[in-house]
Structure 1
């Protein structure tokens, strides 16, 4: 009895394992849709036509490479509108005297006469200051005396040569002495002229900086003379307007603080555009015979720009793409992205003027351009405000 029981216990684990395996096999067969003993069909790779129809990778169906043809991109759009050029451009200009000079002494000496008065109007050539020239006048008398002797010697030598009593060398020496004496006189006269300070043009004096009796040296300031019956105004015109003005064009200048408005004319345009500011300097001359404007002040400048400007369509700068063939943008057409080649004009950091290639009313795509290709399906999720992109 004990030996039989022992043998049963040893064989029990093997029998139990066989029973569990049989139960699991029956359970799997019962859950299968296929009838017991049915054959499983072998895997068959889809042919190229099936792959194309399904848009699988590698197919050449509507999706193109990568099978993304059925994907619709949500993008931002911008409605193209013509930008009407601004009627005028306004900026500030500095008013300057038509001519202005710092009158200064051209010689060393004591100031013996001062005719200049603070703020006085003077005529061209008026004597304004006189430096002591007594020493120079004495030198001039001496030089003139030497000149008179040289002239007499020249006349005597000339007569002797005619009588063959003097040689050609004597004649040449007399001529040299005469020329030297004349030069001495001219030099001293020039030095005397430097002791006078005269007005180089008609104008108005500023404050006088010296007094009678003062010792002045070359370069000592006497006063400032300005021609203010006409003023010139200088202002900077942005590069995009650089060719809209010509010499002779009328320009309106306004002193807003004193409600004064004057019309001047363009008299000069700088030959180049500044590389730092990308502006062109313009000079305007305005009549100021009544003294209404003051040199050194400022005025608002109004520049009429209506003529000569092309009507354009401004678009956001990020909508524009460049390649080896030029610039292009994408527009929405029948729910698809359509590429347009465009010609561009003026540009700012945020906007570009499109001259041709774009029609008013077109919806320009402004986002998602990295993923979009010709013919891509697109959906407008937002329309941008067009007033933010005018190129002024």
Structure 2
């Protein structure tokens, strides 16, 4: 092959390559221009608005109810019960007679003391008259006066012993189960029954020492029991222990709960919710929050365009999150379809009037 033929072949190959390159560059640039000029399709998402809501910081605990006042009814003297005016569950008022002991001997002792007092008063009157005429000495008058005082003291003692044979309610409350029957002989200090003041109940519970600085007298609590499903009993913290148990690292506290209808008995197990604080916060559904590396953000819709906005979150409660910084009340945020949304994306919302079901998946 001659040199001229070789040069001709090279020139033809070069021309073909140049033409192919020019053709490829022309049509590729046209396709890119068309793609750039074609508008992006709006992303279908679901949204929610930032709103203000009261959020409660609380802690859970368990405790047991106690009567506001609870005592054992016991006689102060021994004797036979001749009257028993009590029955289990009976409501009594302060001063009501609960039981009566045989008081015939006490009545006789009282009558004797009254007679002795009358006698001493008469003796004192005669001695005073004699003293006016110096018929008796001053020492005799002093001795009779002392005997009169002794007779008065004896009368007071007999009256108290008679009173002790009548057993009365020291405060208003509810009678427990009887421990003795009518006609039985009881000894001093033997329990007849119990008396509980259930107009209010005390709930004693324990909390970890980390909460010692956050609890205060007067804070509200809500108590619930399995015996009363769906019902909550409101109360307040009434006392806080000054010591922390070195073993459990917990401290005791007490709450008082009004119980005017006597619904709650003493000794019932209760679940408590202690309200530590209440505050008004801007909140969003927790689905709106995106965590990425060291940043936390949401997508805010402004004129149907997604705008990425960093936020500072706070307390979480019931599927909502408090926003401490970054949003304002009324802002619209994306809660579904987040994985397809980018800063600057065009946004479209489902048409609630459309008959076609459109499902927006958070992970799509």
Q: Residue 273 of structure 1 aligns with which residue?
A: 244
Q: Deviations over 1:173-192 (max 9, x none)?
A: 01110111111111111211
Q: Distance in 2 between matches of 1:304 and 1:230?
A: 20
Q: 1:111 aligns with which of 61, 81, 95?
A: 81
Distance (whole Å) between structure 2 residues aligned to residue 292 and residue 114 of structure 1: 26
The reply to whether residue 226 of structure 1 matches residue 196 of structure 2 is: yes
Give me the CA root mean square deviation: 2.0
From 171, 196, 199, the equivalent of 2:141 is 171
| Distance of 1:276 and 1:163 partners within structure 2 | 83
| CA deviation vs aligned residue, 1:348-387 (integer Å, no higher than 9, x gap) | xxxxxxxxxxxxxxxxxxxxxxxxxxxxxxxxxxxxxxxx
* Superposed displacement of residue 88, structure 1: 1.7
Query: C-alpha displacement at 1:108, in angstroms?
Result: 1.1
Instruction: Give 1:88's aligned residue.
Output: 58
Residue 292, structure 1, aligned to residue 292, structure 2: no
Shift of 1:306: 4.1
TM-score (norm 1): 0.54
Q: 1:147 aligns with which of 91, 105, 117?
A: 117
CA deviation string 1:60-117 (max 9, x = no partner): xxxxxxxxxxxxxxxxxxxxxxxxxx92211101011111111112211111111112
Native 8 Å contact 2:131 2:138 kept in 1: yes
CA shift for structure 1 position 263: 1.2
- Contact 2:219 2:275 survives alignment (8 Å): no
What is the aligned counterpart of 2:157 among 173, 183, 187? 187
| 2:100 is equivalent to residue 130 of structure 1 | yes
For 2:143 and 2:100, how far apart are their aligned partners in 1?
39
Against the structure 1 CA distance between its residues 256 and 113, is the aligned structure 2 distance closer, same or farther, given a 3 Å change threshold?
closer
Aligned residues: 224
Summarize the alignment of residues 47-86 of structure 1 with structure 2, pairs less than 5 Å apart.
Answer: none
Cα distance, 1:307 vs structure 2:
7.4
Cα deviation digits, residues 315-362 of structure 1 (max 9, x gap): xxxxxxxxxxxxxxxxxxxxxxxxxxxxxxxxxxxxxxxxxxxxxxxx
**SS of residue matched to 2:232:** strand
Q: Describe the SS at the equivalent of 2:243.
A: coil
SS state of the match for residue 191, structure 1? helix
Offset at 1:142?
Answer: 0.9
Distance 1:147 1:89, change over 3 A: same
1:291 shift after superposition: 2.7
Residue aligning to 2:234: 263
Cα offset for 1:256? 3.9
Contact 2:233 2:257 in 1 (8 A): yes
Q: Unaligned regions of 5+ residues in structure 2, if any?
A: 1-55, 280-364
Residue number in structure 2 paired with 1:304: 275
Structure with max Cα Rg: 1
